Amino acid sequence: MTLTGSSRLLHHPIVIQLGEPLLEIAGSLQSSAVDGPGNRYVIFLQGCNFDCVACHNPTTIGRCDACGACVDACPHGALSFPEVGVVAYEEAACDHCRACVAPCPIDSDPAIRVVSAETVVDEIRGVAGFLSGITVTGGEPTMQLEALVALFTAIKADPELSRLTTLVDSNGTLDRAGWERLLPVTDGAMIDLKAASPDLHEHMTGHGNEPVKRSIELLAPTGKLAEVRLLVIEGVTDTDAELEAWAAFVAGVDPQIPVRVMTFRHQGTRPQAQEWPETSPEAAERVRDRLSGLALEAVLPP
């Protein structure tokens, strides 16, 4: 079992792992065409050290600290307190009514699976013939670094699965030592740079962007920076000054870095995010054109 510090700290919380590292999984998809090249198995890990206003999976942000507020809220008896410091979730009893989510003070989802890398590898093996690879997202997947490294290592060591590419979809807060652990078993990282201006980044995510920029600088020369993403919030992240600063930073690292322009959608977001409009196709096109005009040479098509 994993014990963590506050989920609101920017830097990775102190994690005490006893024995084999386990993955805390908020959900997974057998098949996705939108999380990297080809058809991919997607794993959403629980817990994020950012608190993005626009987060479309806000219940993956908090990592459960076993306060127990959810246990009595469950009408199906799927949650229990088997021992101090542990909230146990029984998947078979759950009917996914989500009644457990509202009472949580830290936007955590108690309905998570805590499983070994080997369990996940077995599940992937059953559908591997349909896949180009695996993408781990979240939450912030690198917060579960040891378990993530164990998962990717197991995939790369399996003769049937080693052809699958391993991607992480990350907020870029992992430090150099962490990337050095992860990169040998990772084929690519997709990094969100929510804003170039520190103040705007703070507003968007609750934190500064220095660690994110450092990750981009570190990853680019390795050839494993699969893409850097910009989420377009009209009137917020697509102002002239912001786009110029964003492009100047990324092009300054390497103008060939693949850049993906992401559109904002209300689905899944919290009420405060819904005051922003969803991104129109025209606005996304405008941002793509603008970034291409600002010396970025690999702006990806929609």
Partner 1 sequence: MADDTRNRITAVVTAPNLTYKQKVQQLALLAEAELPYPKLSDVAEQAMETGLVSDLHEGPAPYRPRYVLPDYAVALRNGSEYLELEAPRDLEEAVDLLEILYHHVPSITGHPVYFGDIDTLLLPYLDDSWTDERLDRLMTRFWRFLDRTIPDAFAHANVGPTDNPIARSILRVDRELAQVVPNLTLKWDPAVSSDALLREAAVSIAVVNKPHIANDPVIGSDFAEGYGVVSCYNTLPLGGGSHTLVRLDLKESLAQHSGDIDSYLTTTLPEHIELTFEVIEARVRYLVEEAGFYEQSFLVEEGLIHRDRFTAMFGVFGLAELVNGLLGDKRYGIDPEATELAHRVVEIVADLVESREVAHCRNGRAMLHAQSGISEDVGVTAGARIPIGEEPEIVDHVLAVAPHHGHFGSGISDIFALEASVRTNPEAIVDIAKGAFEQGMREITFNVEGSDLVRVTGYMVKLSDIEKLRAEGSRINSTGLGAESVENWGLLGRVPRVISHEIDPRMSSVLE
Give the residues lining the site for partner 1 (CB under 8 A).
29-31, 33-34, 37-40, 127, 129-132, 301-302
DSSP annotation string for 144-168:
GHHHHHHHHHHHHH-TTTTTSEEEE
Measured from the CB of residue 38, what is the shortest distance to partner 1 in angstroms?
Answer: 4
252's CB contacts (< 8 A; 6+ apart) are none
Using DSSP's 3-state secondary structure scheme, residue 51 falls into coil
Pair type for strands 40-45 and 133-138: parallel
Of the two residues 199 and 285, which places its CB atom closer to partner 1 in the complex? Answer: 285
Measured from the CB of residue 172, what is the shortest distance to partner 1 in angstroms?
Answer: 23
Of the two residues 29 and 69, which places its CB atom closer to partner 1 in the complex? Answer: 29
Rounded CA-CA distance 10/51 in Å is: 10
Measured from the CB of residue 27, what is the shortest distance to partner 1 in angstroms?
Answer: 13
Of the two residues 38 and 75, which places its CB atom closer to partner 1 in the complex? Answer: 38
Measured from the CB of residue 18, what is the shortest distance to partner 1 in angstroms?
Answer: 35
Pair type for strands 165-170 and 133-138: parallel
Residue at 246: amino acid letter: W
- Looking at residue 139, the DSSP 8-state letter turns out to be S
Measured from the CB of residue 44, what is the shortest distance to partner 1 in angstroms?
Answer: 16
Of the two residues 65 and 158, which places its CB atom closer to partner 1 in the complex? Answer: 158
From the list 272, 172, 178, the residue with the least C-alpha distance to 220 is 172
Of the two residues 67 and 300, which places its CB atom closer to partner 1 in the complex? Answer: 300
Pair type for strands 79-83 and 86-89: antiparallel
Measured from the CB of residue 133, what is the shortest distance to partner 1 in angstroms?
Answer: 9
Cα–Cα separations (whole angstroms), residue 48 to 106, 140, 180, 182, 299: 11, 5, 20, 17, 27
Rounded CA-CA distance 221/118 in Å is: 32
Of the two residues 30 and 197, which places its CB atom closer to partner 1 in the complex? Answer: 30
Measured from the CB of residue 126, what is the shortest distance to partner 1 in angstroms?
Answer: 9
Using DSSP's 3-state secondary structure scheme, residue 113 falls into strand
Of the two residues 6 and 31, which places its CB atom closer to partner 1 in the complex? Answer: 31
Kindly provide the b/e burial profile for residues 46-68, where b requires at least 16 CB atoms within 10 angstroms of the residue's own CB.
bbbbbbbbbbebbbbbbbbbbeb
